[in-house]
């Protein structure tokens, strides 16, 4: 039987197994199938191949399925060839700061010192790259003191306003902040727009994570605070990890939510259940570095992330990616049966080995931050401890990883990274930046730096413009060179 004579519903059923290239070829066979692909095929492809994209969210809501697939196909091709636009998002800050990033579908938040910088994602028509606009900046304290510095930040749902964040400070304070409309740059946030909590006494709030209606904070001394934001009258749950602590991650996608903590201890990466009553007091899994050489050789964990639903690993929420002080980025699968020889005794938590470890062999440095996404949702990004280097690996071919210096090539860690389908947002001690792998970028896609080429090199530390004249030249290198 000729394929073109098959009933339309059968052809549609076949389309679910085709990639974008095959769908495009199928659409060119005849008018009938061309109409079927346009009406059903592209939409089916988009549903079966979702992409995590905060900065594209508004635009994707207005683009037809074919335009969305076109954008993603070009993005994947750029990832495969390591082609992108590198842009700083602001002028260079004074001094050496330690910024942190947060994101939602409307804004990118940059918390640094006593200031929150707010960037807005602007919807664009198909064939035009969604723009990133600087909106305003807000001051959280009238005092320029280290104790008032922002040390962590996370965005939470607020009925569509998309201007609410929780902010952790060096003095141990935790605040819920609603950013006011942008009318005056540098305006001190009104006390009526912020709620202050003192869960961590004078300890630095090292990490904040949020998901659904949950909030998780962690202090440097190991005090974790878990709060259900849907029940503001409920008492927050406190847990003492009894270790120098660095990082958190909340998984709320599955039916059994859990919290992950990164510390400097005998068990530096542990997973706790989230129960109706709060956090479980004991971990249900201990994730190791994979060595069997004794507990004293375990490193610290500085960054934790989960894999996106469209990852090549599948839509499971059981995959954890972590950045370690000893250099590697390690991937653990909570379903794995691989244990260390020094696993806990019967009845104790599982001591799981990583299922994958990757590192930059030319810059074996601690990893300060990690994130997952990128082309085909298959990439891991790690912000390393020196030279403003971001290391990247495609989990489908981890041996072919590569690294890139952030614009400006600061002698700095990349303190925070957020990786989505087409863009990587990061921040060094001097500025936030974006690596944009999407198509259709133009000068107006990014915030205006108001800097000429001479000043860009002399003052900002930026190199010459790239060959497209939109971004700036950055150094990149292959891990297998």
Residue 63 lies in a domain: no
Claim to verify: residue 150 and residue 242 sit in the same structural domain: yes
Residue 55 lies in a domain: no
Q: Determine the average pLDDT of the residues in 172-201.
A: 88
- Angle, CA 140 vertex, CA 202 and CA 170 arms, to 5°: 25
Distance (Å, whole) CA 98 – CA 111: 9
Claim to verify: residue 246 and residue 339 sit in the same structural domain: yes
Residue 58 lies in a domain: no
CA distances from 86 to 26, 406, 424, 462 (A): 36, 8, 10, 11
Tokens, residue 384: 């390393």
Q: Determine the average pLDDT of the residues in 281-308.
A: 84
Q: Determine the average pLDDT of the residues in 88-103.
A: 94
pLDDT value at residue 95: 86
Determine contact, residues 159/190, Cβ cutoff 8 Å.
Answer: no
Distance (Å, whole) CA 311 – CA 294: 33
- Put the strands of the sheet holding 423-427 in their side by side order: 85-88, 432-436, 423-427, 416-419
Q: Determine the average pLDDT of the residues in 263-267.
A: 94
Q: 3-state SS of 225-285?
A: EEEECCCCCCCCEEEECCCEEEEEEEECCCCCCEEEEEEECCCCEEEEEEECCEECCCCCE
pLDDT value at residue 186: 74
Claim to verify: residue 17 and residue 138 sit in the same structural domain: no
pLDDT value at residue 315: 81
Helical H segments across 39-135, by residue range: 42-48, 57-60, 65-80
Claim to verify: residue 164 and residue 294 sit in the same structural domain: yes
Distance (Å, whole) CA 280 – CA 168: 23
Is it the case that residue 166 has pLDDT exceeding 50? yes
Q: Hey, which residues does 319 pair with through a beta bridge?
A: 333
Residue 415 lies in a domain: yes
Higher pLDDT, 86 or 409: 86
Is it the case that residue 143 has pLDDT exceeding 80? no
Determine contact, residues 269/305, Cβ cutoff 8 Å.
Answer: no
Distance (Å, whole) CA 357 – CA 411: 26
* 401 φψ region: left (φ > 0), alpha (ψ -120 to 50), beta (else): beta
Q: How does DSSP classify residue 45?
A: H
The fraction of the chain above a pLDDT of 70, given in percent, is 94
CB neighbour list of residue 46: distance below 8 Å, 6 or more residues apart: 65, 68, 69
Residue 217 lies in a domain: yes
- Least confident among 158-167, 312-321, 423-432, 449-458: 449-458
CB neighbour list of residue 438: distance below 8 Å, 6 or more residues apart: 56, 71, 74, 75, 78, 129, 422, 423
The boundaries of the domain holding residue 111 are 76-478
Average pLDDT across the chain, whole number: 91
Claim to verify: residue 165 and residue 238 sit in the same structural domain: yes
Claim to verify: residue 257 and residue 114 sit in the same structural domain: yes
- Least confident among 28-32, 249-253, 341-345: 341-345
pLDDT value at residue 456: 67
Claim to verify: residue 44 and residue 92 sit in the same structural domain: no
Is it the case that residue 459 has pLDDT exceeding 80? no
Claim to verify: residue 26 and residue 164 sit in the same structural domain: no
Claim to verify: residue 95 and residue 144 sit in the same structural domain: yes
Claim to verify: residue 39 and residue 84 sit in the same structural domain: no
CATH of the domain at 367: 2.130.10.10
Confidence of residue 330 (pLDDT cuts 50, 70, 90): very high
Residue 53 lies in a domain: no
Burial of 5 (0-12, 13-18, 19+ CB in 10 A): exposed
Is it the case that residue 6 has pLDDT exceeding 90? no
Q: How does DSSP classify residue 322?
A: E
Query: Total domain count for the chain?
Result: 2
The fraction of the chain above a pLDDT of 90, given in percent, is 74
Claim to verify: residue 175 and residue 213 sit in the same structural domain: yes
Is it the case that residue 221 has pLDDT exceeding 50? yes
CB neighbour list of residue 481: distance below 8 Å, 6 or more residues apart: 362
Higher pLDDT, 380 or 160: 380
Higher pLDDT, 449 or 279: 279
Residue 321 lies in a domain: yes
Tokens, residue 142: 């009238």
Residue 69 lies in a domain: no
Q: Hey, which residues does 187 pair with through a beta bridge?
A: 138
CATH of the domain at 10: 1.20.1280
pLDDT value at residue 235: 87
Claim to verify: residue 123 and residue 7 sit in the same structural domain: no
Q: Determine the average pLDDT of the residues in 17-30.
A: 92
| Nearest residue to 86 via CA among 419, 471, 475 | 471
**Identity of the highest mean pLDDT range in 180-184, 295-299, 384-388:** 384-388
Is it the case that residue 252 has pLDDT exceeding 90? yes
pLDDT value at residue 345: 45
Higher pLDDT, 206 or 30: 206
């Amino acid at each position: 039987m000729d394929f073109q004579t098959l009933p339309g519903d059968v052809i549609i059923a076949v389309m679910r197994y085709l990639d974008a290239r095959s769908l495009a070829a199928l659409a060119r066979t005849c008018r009938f199938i061309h109409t079927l692909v346009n009406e059903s095929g592209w939409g089916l492809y988009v549903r079966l191949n979702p992409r995590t994209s905060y900065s594209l969210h508004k635009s994707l809501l207005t683009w037809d399925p074919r335009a969305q697939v076109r954008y993603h196909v070009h993005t994947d091709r750029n990832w495969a060839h390591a082609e992108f636009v590198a842009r700083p998002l602001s002028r260079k800050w004074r001094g050496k700061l330690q910024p942190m990033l947060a994101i939602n579908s409307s804004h990118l938040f940059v918390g640094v010192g006593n200031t929150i910088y707010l960037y807005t994602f602007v919807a664009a028509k198909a064939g035009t790259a969604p723009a990133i606009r600087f909106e305003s900046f807000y001051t959280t304290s009238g005092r320029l003191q280290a104790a008032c510095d922002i040390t962590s930040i996370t965005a939470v749902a607020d009925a569509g306003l998309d201007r609410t964040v929780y902010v952790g400070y060096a003095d141990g304070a935790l605040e819920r902040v609603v950013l006011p409309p942008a009318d005056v740059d540098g305006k001190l946030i009104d006390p009526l727009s912020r709620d202050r909590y003192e869960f961590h006494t004078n300890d630095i709030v090292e990490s904040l994570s949020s998901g659904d209606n949950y909030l998780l904070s962690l202090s440097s001394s190991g005090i974790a605070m878990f709060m259900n934001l849907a029940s503001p009258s409920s008492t927050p749950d406190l847990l003492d990890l009894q270790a120098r602590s660095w990082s958190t991650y909340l998984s709320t996608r599955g039916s059994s939510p859990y919290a992950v903590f990164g510390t400097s201890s005998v068990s530096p990466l542990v997973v706790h259940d989230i129960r109706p009553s709060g956090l479980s007091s004991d971990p249900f899994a201990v994730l190791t570095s994979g060595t069997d050489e004794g507990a004293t050789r375990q490193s610290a964990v500085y960054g934790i992330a989960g894999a996106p639903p469209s990852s090549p690993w599948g839509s499971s929420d059981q995959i954890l990616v972590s950045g370690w002080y000893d250099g590697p980025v390690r991937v653990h699968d909570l379903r794995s049966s691989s244990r260390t020889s020094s696993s806990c005794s019967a009845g104790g938590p599982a001591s799981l080995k990583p299922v994958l470890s990757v590192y930059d062999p030319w810059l074996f440095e601690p990893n300060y931050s990690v994130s997952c996404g990128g082309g085909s949702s298959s990439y891991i990004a790690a912000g390393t401890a020196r030279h403003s280097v971001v290391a990247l690996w495609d989990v489908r071919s981890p041996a072919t990883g590569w690294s890139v210096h952030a614009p400006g090539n600061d002698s700095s860690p990349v303190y925070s990274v957020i990786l989505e389908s087409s863009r990587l947002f990061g921040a060094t001690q001097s500025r936030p930046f974006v690596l944009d792998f999407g198509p259709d970028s133009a000068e107006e896609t990014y915030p205006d730096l108001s800097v000429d080429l001479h000043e860009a090199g002399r003052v900002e530390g930026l190199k010459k413009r790239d060959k497209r004249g939109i971004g700036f030249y950055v150094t990149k290198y292959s891990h297998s060179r």
